[in-house]
Amino acid sequence: EPEVTQTPSHQVTQMGQEVILRCVPISNHLYFYWYRQILGQKVEFLVSFYNNEISEKSEIFDDQFSVERPDGSNFTLKIRSTKLEDSAMYFCASEEGLNSPLHFGNGTRLTVT
Amino acid sequence: KQEVTQIPAALSVPEGENLVLNCSFTDSAIYNLQWFRQDPGKGLTSLLLIQSSQREQTSGRLNASLDKSSGRSTLYIAASQPGDSATYLCAVSLDSNYQLIWGAGTKLIIKP
């Protein structure tokens, strides 16, 4: 069964550094998402992406965050200058169409020191 | 503002029992509701999706119900097995947008 893949599985970075989290969504899916889960807290929506542009973003997704779909298969989340509070599990998800089940990757655990 | 609450936060039952997990939401204007399973160190797996016009969905030993007017959903697991041990999350998608709003989850342990 096709699946969403995320790399790396774990990333450790120093405060102020840039990180890029990578995702390969399922190939025929049209909608793409990034969510995050801080340890012990609820899953939080960051951004949704459709037709090569952001369709919606949360308050968390400030100017330090950006997303790209550079080549039609990869979907990346960039954090320009990481902060300690960016430490979390970041999940990429995709769906075939609206009102379809959401398929998640296994996540990237980001640790900012 | 939509809030999603799940009760109980944790549940431990012997293998073979039927059980019910609860999810409530404050704003009934939802587009759909999904139940997910989260295993430690893994991603989230969609179990059931109930559209706002539906009352329930079934998949194998799982049955999810939705009562939009009262802001409630239940996930029924029949004949529980140790492999069902995981955290179960419910999430709602709003009418006005398609982001998911999540509950905190119920951590389920099935004892052999």
Contact A56 B43 (CB under 8 A): no
Would you state the pLDDT for residue B41?
Answer: 78
CA pair distance A18, A77, nearest whole angstrom: 11
| Partner residues linked to A62 by β-bridges | none
* Helical ranges in B1-74 per DSSP H: none
Contact B43 A43 (CB under 8 A): no
Q: How far is A67 from chain B (nearest CA, A)?
A: 16
Reported as a single tens digit per residue, the pLDDT across B41-81 is: 788 999 999 999 999 999 999 999 999 999 999 999 999 99
Reported as a single tens digit per residue, the pLDDT across B5-41 is: 999 999 999 999 999 999 999 999 899 999 999 998 7
DSSP E strand boundaries for A1-113: 5-7, 10-13, 19-24, 31-37, 43-50, 53-57, 65-68, 75-79, 88-95, 103-104, 108-112
Residues 6+ away with beta carbon under 8 Å from B15: B80, B81, B82, B110, B111, B112
Amino acid at position B105, single letter:
G
Would you state the pLDDT for residue B96?
Answer: 60
| B23 at A interface, C-beta within 8 A | no
Q: How far is B19 from chain A (nearest CA, A)?
A: 23
Structure letter (DSSP) for residue A48: E
Q: Which two tokens stand for residue A86?
A: 């960016």
Please list every residue in chain B whose beta carbon sits closer than 8 Å to the beta carbon of residue A31: 98
> End-to-end alpha-carbon separation of chain B, Å?
41
Would you state the pLDDT for residue A97?
Answer: 85
Nearest residue in A to B96, CA atom: A56
